[in-house]
Amino acid sequence: MSPQLITPELVGLDVDFGSAPTDVITRLAGMVASAGRTTDAAALADGAIEREAKAPTGVPGRVAIPHVRSSAVATPTLAFARLARPVDFGGPDGDADLVFLIAAPEGGGKEHLKILSTLARALVRGEFVDKLRAAATPNDAVAEIIAVVGGAPEPPKRVYRIAAVTSCPTGIAHTYMAADALVQAAQKRDDVDLRVEPQGSSGYDALEDSFIRDADAVIFAHDVAVRGQGRFAGKPLINAPVKRGIDSPDALIDAAVAAADDPDADVVKASTSAGDDGDAARQSTDSWPKRIQQAVMTGVSYMVPFVAAGGLLLALGFLIGGYDMANGWQAIATQFSPTNLPGNQVNVDGAVMTFERSGWLLYLGAVLFATGQMGMGFVVSALSGYIGYGLAGRPGIAPGFIGGASSVLLGAGFIGGLVTGILAGVIAYWIQSWTVPRWLGSLMPVVIIPLLTSLAIGLLMFLLLGRPLGAIMEGLQGWLESMSGSSAILLGVIIGMMMCFDLGGPVNKAAYLFGTAGLSAGTESSFQIMAAVMISGMVPPIALSIATFLRRSLFTPAEQENGKSAWLLGLSFVSEGAIPFAAADPLRVIPSMMLGGATAGAVSMALGTGVQAPHGGIFVIFAYDPWWGMFAALAAGVAVSAAAVIAAKQIWPNKAIEHAAQTA
C-alpha cells in the first residue's frame, strides 16, 4: 500500500522557521527527511527554492504552497507548517503563516499538480483555512488536510511505450497524415508515450533503438513493406492499413495497449533466412490476395521516383532542346560535347536532320532527354523488382528486376512487370520455406534463391508467358492510340471518377498506377492519361476549399479550418487533403467530388492535354502540353465539384451542422 500523503511527523504547528522563504523551505525539507520520505533533504530544498525563485507561491488567505519534483523523493509527500513568525512568499494579502511543501517524485507524472490544484480549490473556502489555524495538534491538522486532498496517493498509472510506423505507396500524404493523427491522439492521453517513424518517400528519421527496445507494443499502419522491420522483432504488433491510422488512431492505440498486456498477441517476427528486415509480407498474417495487393503498392512506391526523375528530365529536355530534338537525341548526346557543340544540322543514322535549335540549347536538351530515357528504362524493372521484394524480401529483388527487363524485351510492358514481380515474389517466398542443411543456409538468400527464381522467371517468360502478355500489351497500346473523340472522353470520365472515389484509397491508387506505369511507353496517349489522372486528382481539395469560403455556414468549424489549407494540397496533387471532408460527410462530398473529377478528366482528354511528370500538380506546369489545357480542365472540374457540394449540402442539410449552428 502506498504511504499516506501527510502524517503528524510532517506537520509543524506554531513554529519559527526563519524570516525568509528559503529558511522555511529548508526546514520543511528537513521534516520530510526526518519522516524518512527523502534521501537528500538538501537536494529537495534546493529544487523547491529554485522553483520559488522563478515565481512566488503565495496565494490569497496568507498561504504559501512551494512545490517541487525531485529524484530525492520516492512517493508524493505533503509537509505543513503553521508559522509563529509569518514570512513573505509574495502573496497578495501579506506574509504567509500557513505553508505547504509539496514534494513529488521526478517521474511521478502530474501527481503534484493534482495535489496543488486540490489545495488551491480548498483554500478558497475560508472554513478550511480557519480550521488549520485553530488545529490544536498535528493529528487535527492531518485530519483536516486528508479530508480535503485524500489519504494515500493513487499508485502511478502505467505509461505504455508504443512505437509506430506509417507508410503508403507514394510516401507523400497518407504516410504523414497517419503519423500526425496517431501523435495527436496520443497527446490527449496520459497512459501512452507514442513515437512515430513516418517512412516517407523523402527519407525518414528512424526511431531510436533505445525506444524500440523498451517499447511495449508496435503499430504498423502501412500499405507497403515496412523498412527495417526486424528492429521490432518480438514486440506485440497491431497491423493495419495506413488509412485506419488516419480514420481511427484512438482505436489503434487502444488495440496496442491491449496487445501489450496480452501474452497471446501477435508479435513482430524475427528476421528469416532471407536476411531481410523489411520483409513485411513474410511477417504478415494477411491472406495472399492482401499480401499481393500490398506488394504491388510497394512496387509502385519504389517505381514512382524512377518515373518522376525520368519524366521530368524528359520534359526539361523538350523545354530546352525543342520538341524536334527527340528525333535525334541519341546522336546529339553521344557525338558532341561541351567543346564540340552541334549546329542546327546533325547527321543522324546517315541522314542529315535540321533542328530548330543549336549549340548549347540543343546539346543540353539532348543530354537531359538521354538521362531521362535511361531513368524511364528502369520503370518496369523497378516495378517488378520491388513487387518481388514486397513478397519475399531481398531475395525477390534480382529475379523481379530480371523479369521486368524480360518483359520490356518481349514487349509485355508494365503488365508483364506486374506478372513477373508477383511470380518472382511467390517463387522466392516458396524456396525460402525449404529446409536445407546449415552449410547451405548461408548461400540461400544471396545465391540459391535469386538463381533458381531468376531461372524460373526466365523460362516462364520466354517459353510460356512473354508473347501472350506482349500481345495483350500491344492490344492495349493500340486501343489507347486509337482513342479519339467520345472514347477518349469516356476514358477521362472513368479515370476522373476513380481518382475522386476514395481519395488515395485502392481505387484511386489503381487509376494512378494505370497512369504512371503507362508513362514508360512514352506515347502521346500515355501522357494524356497521366494528365487526366493528375488533374482530376487535384480537384477535390481545391473545390472543397473554395466551397468553405463561399458558404462557410454549410461546413463545421473544423472543416472551415481545413479549407484554409486544402487548396494548396490540391494544387500539389495531394488528393488526401479532401479526406477530412469526405470522412465527416461522405454521402454529400464523395459524389460531388466524383462529378468534378469526371468533368476534369473529360475536358483534359478532349483537349488532348498531356503531362510527362507523374506528380507535382500545378508546380510542374512546364511538363504539360498544352499548359493551358491543364488550367481549363482543372477550372472546369473545380467549378462543378464546388457547385455540386454546395448544392448537396443546401438541398440535403447536414443535421449535425444545423444542430451545431443552433447551439452556437
Question: Is residue 109 helix, strand or coil?
Answer: coil
Please report the DSSP string for 255-280 in residue order: HHHHHHT-TTS-BPPPP-TT--TT-H
The answer to whether the CB of 498 falls within 8 A of the CB of 590 is no
Spatial separation of the C-alpha atoms in residues 567 and 572, rounded to whole Å? 9
Output phi, psi for 342, to 5 deg. Answer: -80, 150
* Catalytic position from the list 112, 168, 174, 222: 168
Question: Is residue 99 helix, strand or coil?
Answer: strand
Sign of CA dihedral 70, 76, 82, 86: positive
Please report the DSSP string for 503-551 in residue order: SSSHHHHHHHHHHHHHGGG--HHHHHHHHHHHHHHHHHHHHHHHHHHH-
Spatial separation of the C-alpha atoms in residues 152 and 78, rounded to whole Å? 11
Spatial separation of the C-alpha atoms in residues 566 and 547, rounded to whole Å? 11
Direct distance between the N- and C-terminal alpha carbons of the chain, in angstroms, rounded to an integer = 48
Output phi, psi for 568, to 5 deg. Answer: -70, -40
588 Cβ contact partners less than 8 Å away, ≥ 6 residues apart: 645, 648, 649, 652, 654
CB 501: neighbour CB atoms within 10 A? 19
* Catalytic position from the list 67, 112, 174, 222: 67
| Residue 42 CB-half CA count within 13 A | 0
The answer to whether the CB of 537 falls within 8 A of the CB of 578 is no
Spatial separation of the C-alpha atoms in residues 389 and 428, rounded to whole Å? 9
Spatial separation of the C-alpha atoms in residues 494 and 487, rounded to whole Å? 11
Answer yes or no: 222 catalytic: no
The secondary structure element, H or E, covering residue 229 is: none
Spatial separation of the C-alpha atoms in residues 529 and 318, rounded to whole Å? 19
Spatial separation of the C-alpha atoms in residues 245 and 179, rounded to whole Å? 7
Grid cell 509543524 in the structure block, residue: 12
Answer yes or no: 500 catalytic: no
CB 652: neighbour CB atoms within 10 A? 10
Spatial separation of the C-alpha atoms in residues 12 and 23, rounded to whole Å? 14
Tell me the β-bridge partners of 165: 197, 220
Query: So which residues are the catalytic ones?
Result: 67, 168
